[in-house]
Amino acid sequence: VIGHTTATPPPTPAATDAASFGQWRRVSGRVAIAGPAHHLAHIVPLLVLSVFVGSATWWYISATAAVLALILVKGVGRWFATHYRLTGQHLEVRTGLLHRDHLLIRRDRIRGVSLTHKLTYRVLGLAVVRIGTSDHKGVALDGVLAADAAHLQRLLLTHPADLRPTTQPATTPSTPPATQGPAPQGAVTLTTFTARWLLYAPFTPAGWAAVTGLAGAITKVADRLTDNTFDTAVLGWITAHSPWLTAALLAAAVPAIYVPGSIAVYLALYWDFRLTREHSDRGGMLRVNRGLLTTRAASVTEARLRGVEIVEWLPLRAVGGAAARALVAGRGAAGSRMTLTPPGPLREAQRVCAKALRTTRSPTAWPLRRHPHAALRRRLVRGVAPAVLLAVVLTVAAPPWAWWTAWALVPALAAVSWDRYRALGHALTTRYLVTRSGCLRRHTAAVQRTGIIGWRISQTWGQRRAGLVTVSATTAAAAGVYSVIDIDADTGLQLAATAVPGLLDDLLHHDDERHGRRR
Amino acid sequence: VPDGNRAGRRRPTELPLSSGLSPRIRAWLRDPAAVPGPGGPLDDLDTLRADQAAIGGDFRRALRTLADEATDEAADEIVGETAGGKPPGEVRGDLPAAQYPDPVSDTVDTESTPESLPEPAQVPLRRPCHQLSRRVVTLWRWRTGAGWGLLLAAQLIALIFLRSTWQSAGLIATVAVGGVAVGAMPERRYRVHRWELTSDALYTLQGWPTLHWEIAPISRIQNVNTEHGPLERKLRLATLTVTTASAHGAIRIEGLDRDVAAELAAELTRVTHATPWDAT
């Protein structure tokens, strides 16, 4: 049955029988409805609003209906044209009605599989399966039945080595090996959603979406209701009253929207957050489930982990919070990064990192080595000098309030520079290279030393004068490059040479050796 | 491109891959016992010279690298043996402690003076041993010239319609900065840019005023690609791009002699294919 391509694929079996993955099959036909339903869910509030406001004309409504009909036709076409099957070696996906595309993905190149259930998809019992691979931008199967999707995810992440003909008994060719997906053997929960995490939500940047979105919606509706005179009315009110009153009103209104908004966004993203580790025959597998309306489930094999990172936004850092993410090898939808903990207590983030890496203490929690004072000088020169220059120019050529603000900025920028310097640090553990930088968004990354696939060392003109370098390790995961910024040149190269033994031996000057021999 | 043609004809029969040393010498450096003869290549300096000539490398440079890599006893031996008419210690005697003058720059690129080079002593990395083709200076000169020329032309046209002090000042600035970029930059870059294929990695030094050293282990290389633009084709140059699994790990070497690039690409492809896994 495997390797046999039928000219006309059989109709989609409704059953969730695992064996059928070995044959060509379509995604669920419900996906044709899901597309328009999803858009309709977005359009309906606008439509109701426009009827209510009175701007809805017959043209407007019929145009919307036409667009929905087009989406429906497109959905039917896509459902009709998309086929996939899973053989022992490959996942094959055929798409396109006019422009035919046959994608052959080697199963051992599959790096991660994630499932997304949008709200409309949940109602219809569907999922989007995104497959990330090492050498391709990945592929998404839109509209797989939810039950099938979970099974497919597990199958795609099983070890292809067990599916190769050499390890398969040749006597059973009728049962596709692809279908013998392992059941999870006892999942260990590493962390779960805690209500206390919600306290950290107002300190995340998520609330801005709520504030700007709501402000935009309000002005739009008000504009419609007042025949586009809302802006002038607001401006008139502001000029008529004291600016302090406006400032006070804003100071009250923004948090009043921001706090509940950020909590709502946080809940939508991280409700029911669960990080688990399953044991399959492909080694351990980390799995994240999360989401309130749209639920997401991502899985990666532990062999793909290349490290972890801790991200602290300035307000979050001020209250002792952080988010943790795993660095996952591979590009595309399922690769690069996976949330280990949402914004929450730093201690929890460190604990989960340690658990995820199977260490007693997360490499990101070790004390870091400071960078030389020349780095502080560079931060100050780059951060403060332009502001001072601007302030001087303004003092000469601008009204007092301008240069007052410019001078007031200087100490603030100096503080930021100082904080940026304090953030700089690096460490080397037995398995990880740790580097930290950043002020507004402080970023501590621990990159597996065996996952470092190259070095880039750069030195600007200013760094050359100060004897500093930036040493960057390239990896196959996430950002692709992690930098130790403004480190002393000798220490930096030593760090690189120690982190990946042997690679730099041939390229380094051994000063003491050379000197000794020359004497 | 009078200078470049000469450099092109002096093409080595085999690409001088590892630090410009012949395979025999490298093998001896790794394990003296593996190379026949009582003293290995040191046994017979003439053979050594012939060996090195066969791969097109420079003998003095090879010896210098040898002295740098060898054990103390071997180094003493080499220095003693190098004599060949020159005073003993000549090989290492010309290496100042603070600065390690590049072997290539004082043989191939005779115009370059130590002051014009970035100080290598600041970063404890030795320079990669091969320079680009001399013709790359022409390439860069034309390319930057075209960009600045376009800007200048636009400004001149604007000057016809609208005249102000600001505009004249802008014109002068364009001429000054563009002049420096076209006149000095290509030469500077040519002196800095270097590459080398060591036994474990592709190693490059590029960029000016910001210097970039890049090291990609051969075992992690995924793709090797050569490109020839129209201007590059005319100058018999090529750009070699080597990608790894990192989103930022690509190394691009512009301005290689076409044949050198082809040989390097072939060699890289060969060794890359020998790597069994997918290099992530």
| Per-residue confidence in pLDDT tens, chain B, 280 aa | 333 333 333 333 333 334 455 666 666 655 656 665 545 555 555 666 666 666 555 555 565 555 554 544 444 444 444 433 333 333 322 222 222 223 322 222 322 223 333 334 467 888 888 999 999 999 999 999 999 999 999 998 988 887 788 888 888 999 999 998 899 999 999 999 999 998 888 999 998 889 999 999 988 888 888 999 899 999 999 999 998 878 776 899 999 999 999 999 998 888 877 655 555 5
The stretch A240-257 carries a mean pLDDT of 85
Mean pLDDT of A74-81: 85
Contact call for B210 and A457, based on CB within 8 A: no
Q: Distance (Å, rounded) from C-alpha B231 to C-alpha A320?
A: 57
Interface subset of A 431-490, CB within 8 angstroms of B: 451, 453-461, 464, 467, 469, 472, 474-476, 479-481, 489-490
Q: pLDDT at position B117, please? A: 34
Instruction: Please tell me what DSSP assigns to residue A447.
Output: E
What's the gap in Å between the CA of B94 and the closest CA on chain A?
11
Q: How close B212 comes to chain A (CA, Å)?
A: 4
pLDDT value at residue A433 = 92
| HEC-encoded secondary structure of A124-191 | HCEEEEEEEECCCCCEEEEEEEHHHHHHHHHHHCCCHHHHCCCCCCCCCCCCCHHHCCCCCCCCEEEE
Residue A227 pLDDT > 70 = yes
Which among A455, A460, A476 has CB closest to B280? A476
> Which of A314, A322, A345, A320 is CA-nearest to residue A415?
A314
Task: Write out pLDDT tens, residues A186-223.
Answer: 788 999 999 999 999 999 887 777 778 888 888 877 77
pLDDT value of position B33 = 60
- Phi/psi of residue A185, each to 5°? -100, 90
Query: Is residue A495 predicted with pLDDT exceeding 70?
Result: yes
Kind plus residue range of the DSSP H or E element containing A239: helix A230-240
Most confident of A37-41, A177-181, A299-303, B191-195: B191-195
pLDDT of residue A343: 94
B209: preceding bond cis by omega (within 30 degrees): yes
Q: Which residue of A has its CA nearest to B212?
A: A458
Q: What is the mean pLDDT of chain A?
A: 81
Cβ-based contacts of A458 with chain B (< 8 Å) = 207, 210-213
CB-based contact B118:B211 (threshold 8 Å): yes
3-class DSSP assignment, residue A505: coil
Question: Mind listing the pLDDT tens digit for each residue in A114-164?
Answer: 898 888 888 888 999 988 776 656 788 888 888 888 888 888 877 554 443
Closest-CA residue of A relative to B123 is A489
* Candidates B100, B118, B214; nearest CB to A456: B214
Taking an 8 Å cut-off on Cβ atoms, the answer to whether B125 and A507 are in contact is yes
Contact call for residues A132 and A116 (beta carbons, < 8 A): no
Residue of B nearest to A467 (CA): B122
pLDDT at residue B240, rounded to an integer: 94
Residue B268: φ, ψ to 5°: -65, -40
Pairing of strands B221-227, B194-197: unpaired
Dist. CA B34–CA B132, nearest whole Å: 34
Span A460-481, average pLDDT: 89
Strand order in the sheet with B221-227: B221-227, B237-244, B251-257
Residues 6+ apart with CB under 8 A from B77: B39, B42
- Measured distance CA(A435)–CA(A421) in Å, rounded: 13
Nearest to A504 among B215, B246, B278 (CB): B215
Is the CB of A330 inside 8 Å of chain B's CB atoms? yes
CB-CB neighbors (< 8 A) of B70 in chain A: none
- Residues from chain B contacting residue A331 (CB–CB below 8 Å): 247
DSSP state of B238: E
- Looking at residue B42, its pLDDT comes to 53
CB of A508 within 8 Å of any CB in chain B?
Answer: yes
Q: Give the span between the Cα atoms of A141 and A121, in whole angstroms.
A: 13
Q: Which of A145, A149, A22, A8 is nearest to A80 (CA)?
A: A8
Cross-strand bridge partners of residue A345 = A321
Question: Confidence class of residue A175 from pLDDT cuts 50, 70 and 90?
Answer: very low
Parallel, antiparallel, or unpaired for β A110-117 and A126-133?
Answer: antiparallel
Contacts of B280 in chain A (CB under 8 A): 134, 329-330, 451, 453, 476
Torsion of CA A361, A367, A369, A371, to 10 degrees: 120
- Chain B contact for A518, CB < 8 A? yes
Q: Do B119 and A517 touch (CB under 8 A)?
A: no
Asked if the C-beta of A512 comes within 8 angstroms of chain B's C-beta atoms, the answer is no
User: Do B123 and A489 lie within an 8 Å CB cutoff?
Assistant: yes
Per residue, the 3-state secondary structure of A264-292, as one string, reads HHHHHHHCCCEEEEEEEECEEEEEEEECC
A219 strand-pairing partners? none
Question: Which residues fall within 8 angstroms of residue A464, CB to CB, at 6 or more apart?
Answer: B118, B119, B122, B211
Would you say residue A514 has pLDDT above 50?
A: no
Structure tokens that stand for A311 in this block: 């991200």
Looking only at Cα atoms, what is the longest distance across chain A? Answer: 94
Q: What is the mean pLDDT of residues A389-413?
A: 86
Query: Least CB-CB distance to A490: which of B92, B95, B124?
Result: B124
**Helices (DSSP H) in chain B: which residue ranges?**
2-9, 23-30, 45-54, 59-69, 72-82, 90-93, 136-161, 165-183, 185-192, 230-234, 258-273
Tokens of A351: 């604990």
B68 in contact with chain A, both atoms CB, cutoff 8 A: yes
Of B201, B210, B212, nearest to A461 by CB-CB distance is B210
First to last CA, chain A: 76
| Interatomic CA distance for residues B191 and B206, integer angstroms | 10
B97–chain A Cβ distance below 8 A for any pair? yes
- Retrieve residue B51's tokens: 């060996």
Q: Mark yes or no for CB contact A474/B244 under 8 Å.
A: yes
Q: Which residues of A touch B95 (CB under 8 A)?
A: 514, 518
ipTM: 0.76
**Residue B56 DSSP label:** T
